[in-house]
Amino acid sequence: MIRIRALNHDDIPFAMKLKEQAGWNQTEADWRRFLGMQPDGCFVAEWDGLAVGTTVSCILGGIAWIAMVLVDPAFRGRGIGKALMSHALDFLDSQGVNSVRLDATALGKPLYEKLGFVVEYELSRYEGFPKPRVPASLNLAPAPGRSVQAKVEDWPQVMHLDRDITATDRSKFLNRLFSEEPEAIRVIRSPTQVVGFLASRAGICARQIGPCLGTPEAGMTLMRDAASRYAGSRVFIDIPIRNRSAIDEAKTLGLSVQRQLVRMRRGRPVAERTDHIWASSGPELG
C-alpha cells in the first residue's frame, strides 16, 4: 500500500500543505533549496496512489541530514513515517555516508530511536520580538569588532569557520542560503580573518535567525545586531542548551522558549563545537 517515490517541484504545493498542517515555518523557497541541493534525496510517500508524506535528505561530505519528515494526520499510524525514514536511510547508506543527523521533535524522537538514532544534545527554540540592547542607529558592539554586511569575498572564510565549528562541509547549503538573501549575511572580522557570522531567512511564521557561529565575543555581538535589525519582527532562534551564554542572551533580548528539539545521530559522532554555535540554522541542516 505504501510506495516511496522521488519528490519533485510539482509536489511543492502538497509539501507546503503538510508543513502548514504541522504548523512549521518553512517556505516554498526552502523546499526548492532542498531539491536543488539533493534532488535524488527528496521523497514522497503514497498510500494507494495518494501522496501522504514527505522527507528530504542532504549529503554534506561524509555527513548527511534528514528533515521534513511529514505525514498527513489522516494517515498516521500506518507506518508511513518509518517507511520514509527507512527509504532515506537506505539511500544515504548507498552513498557511503558515515553519519546521519537530524533535529527531532518530541513526536518524532521515538521513531528515530527505533531506527538506531541516539541523542547528541538538546536545543531550545526561542521566539518573540527581540528588544534591542542598544539603539540600532548607533550600531555599538563590543570587541573584537563591529557586525557588518558580508561581502562575497568573505564567503570562503565564512565556510572555513563553519566547517571548523560544525566539523561538516556545509558549503553546498551555505552558498545557496547566502545567494538567496545576501544582505542578511553579517560577519565580524578580526584584522586577519572572519571570527563570526550570522545568516537568517524569511519564514511563514517568523524570521529564522541562524546559523550564527563564532567566538563568544563575536556571537554576542551578532545576536545583539540581529535584535536591532529585526526589532518589531517575530523571530525564531534554535540554540544548543550547552551554550549558556547564547541562552542567557536570548532571554535578555526578550525571547522565550517555544519548544525543545533534540539533535540525534546515527553512525559516527560529529565533533561539533556547541560553545561556538549561537544559533543553529534550523531543524533542516543543523
- CATH number of the domain to which 251 belongs: 3.40.630.90
Give the pLDDT confidence of 243-274 residue by residue, as tens digits.
999 999 999 999 999 999 999 999 999 999 99
Average pLDDT, the chain: 94
Among candidate residues 36, 62, 97, the one where a domain is terminated: 97
pLDDT of res. 60: 96
Cβ contact 188:207 at 8 Å: no
Among candidate residues 97, 112, 136, the one where a domain is terminated: 97
39/92 same-domain check:
yes
pLDDT of res. 132: 84
273 sits in the region (left: phi over 0; alpha: psi -120 to 50; else beta) called beta
Q: Is 45's pLDDT higher than 90?
A: yes
130/269 same-domain check:
yes
82/217 same-domain check:
no
What is the average pLDDT across 150-157?
A: 96
- DSSP letter for each residue of 66-117: EEEEEE-GGGTTSSHHHHHHHHHHHHHHHTT-SEEEEEE-TTTHHHHHHTT-
pLDDT of res. 134: 57
pLDDT of res. 141: 46
Residues contacting 61, CB < 8 A, separation 6+: 168, 169
pLDDT of res. 4: 98
pLDDT of res. 142: 44
What is the average pLDDT across 153-172?
A: 97
Query: What burial letters (b/e) apply to 70-107, b meaning 16+ CB within 10 Å?
Result: bbbeebeebebbbbbbebbbebbeeeebebbbbbbeee
273/230 same-domain check:
yes
Number of folded domains in the chain?
Answer: 2
pLDDT of res. 124: 98
pLDDT of res. 197: 98
| Distance in angstroms (rounded) separating the CA atoms of residues 220 and 199 | 14
What is the average pLDDT across 150-179?
A: 97
Q: Is 188's pLDDT higher than 50?
A: yes
Please give the residue that has the higher pLDDT: either 84 or 142.
84
Cell 539533493 -> residue: 38
C-alpha grid cell, residue 102: 537530524
The answer to whether residue 115 is domain-embedded is: no
Cβ contact 132:174 at 8 Å: no
140/226 same-domain check:
yes
Give the pLDDT confidence of 5-24 residue by residue, as tens digits.
999 999 999 999 999 999 99
**For residue 39, what pLDDT band results from cuts at 50, 70 and 90?**
very high
82/156 same-domain check:
no
- Report the amino acid identity of residue 87: H
Give the pLDDT confidence of 96-147 residue by residue, as tens digits.
999 999 999 988 999 999 999 999 999 999 999 999 875 443 444 444 479 9
Q: What global pTM score does this model have? A: 0.93
The answer to whether residue 156 is domain-embedded is: yes
- What is the distance between the terminal CA atoms of the chain, rounded to a whole angstrom? 33
Whose CA is closest to 21, among 72, 85, 56? 72
Q: What is the CATH number of the domain that holds 69?
A: 3.40.630.30
The answer to whether residue 110 is domain-embedded is: no
What is the signed CA dihedral for 257, 258, 263, 264, rounded to 10 degrees? Answer: 140
- Report the amino acid identity of residue 92: L
Q: What number of residues does the chain have?
A: 286
| Distance in angstroms (rounded) separating the CA atoms of residues 197 and 142 | 15
Range of the domain at 43: 2-97
C-alpha grid cell, residue 211: 546559523
The answer to whether residue 109 is domain-embedded is: no
